[in-house]
Chain A
Amino acid sequence: DIQMTQSPSSLSTFVGDRVTITCQANQDISNDLNWYQQKPGKAPKLLIYDASNLETGVPSRFSGSGSGTDFTFTINSLQPEDIATYYCQQYENLPLTFGGGTKVEIK
């Protein structure tokens, strides 16, 4: 199985700050990576696919980059509605696997 390691597991910062989350795969997954947002009590929502493509309707303050084994998810100018847990997911190989999640909170 491909293991996805996200860091940090949680972070707390201010409204307006830039947030950066990393996801590392234990083998090359090209750009076969997606990012999801999960708000408390809700289902995950796709934000970024193929490592860097913004899903339709998702605000442009969200972005993704990377390829191979190292990936980055960024929120430019954190907003109160961005409070959530964020997950990466690889689809290079089966089984499909997710990172452990990063919980984003506001100070």
Chain B
Amino acid sequence: QLQLQESGPGLVKPSETLSLTCSVSGGSISSRSYYWGWIRQPPGKGLEWIGSIYYRGSTYHNPSLKSRVSISVDTSKNQFSLKLNSVTAADTAVYYCARHPSIAVLSRFDPWGQGTLVTVSS
């Protein structure tokens, strides 16, 4: 059974870089059949897609985050990662990683990791 687990610092200072890793178990991130994505949810609010990556490195991200987002993949560790720079309090959220069960990024998310809360505060 495929499982995803987010990890990273729970507290980041304003203007610094948020860095998270999603570890995949029960399946290979190098599968040709899937994209892998990041979604976030500010406390008490809705869901926002951040971006997605294919194991070969092709990435798509939400233009609302402009050029602050970087998503990468490490197939040797079966992980993919998110970096969001110049963070502000508005970036405080639960961050989820998830799989697109499709070779297309234009698809659904299933399954999801449990999520990790990242707070931006000095």
Query: Which residues of A line the B interface, CB within 8 A?
Result: 1, 32, 34, 36, 42-46, 49, 55, 87, 89, 91-101
Contacts and interface: CB of A to CB of B under 8 A. Distances in A.
A45 B46 CA distance: 14
Q: A-side binding surface: helix, strand, loop or mixed?
A: loop
Contacts of A43: 96, 98, 112-115
A92 B108 CA distance: 11
Q: Which one of A42, A45, A89, A94 has the highest number of Cβ atoms from chain B below 10 Å of its Cβ?
A: A94
B47 A49 contact: no
B7 to A, nearest CB: 15
Nearest to A46: B110
B76 interface: no
Contacts of B110: 46, 49, 55
Interface stretch (B9-17, B22-30, B56-64, B83-91): B56-64
B64 A95 contact: yes
B34 interface: no
A96 B49 contact: yes
Contacts of A89: 47, 108-109
A45 B112 contact: yes
B70 to A, nearest CB: 16
Interface in B99-117: 105-115
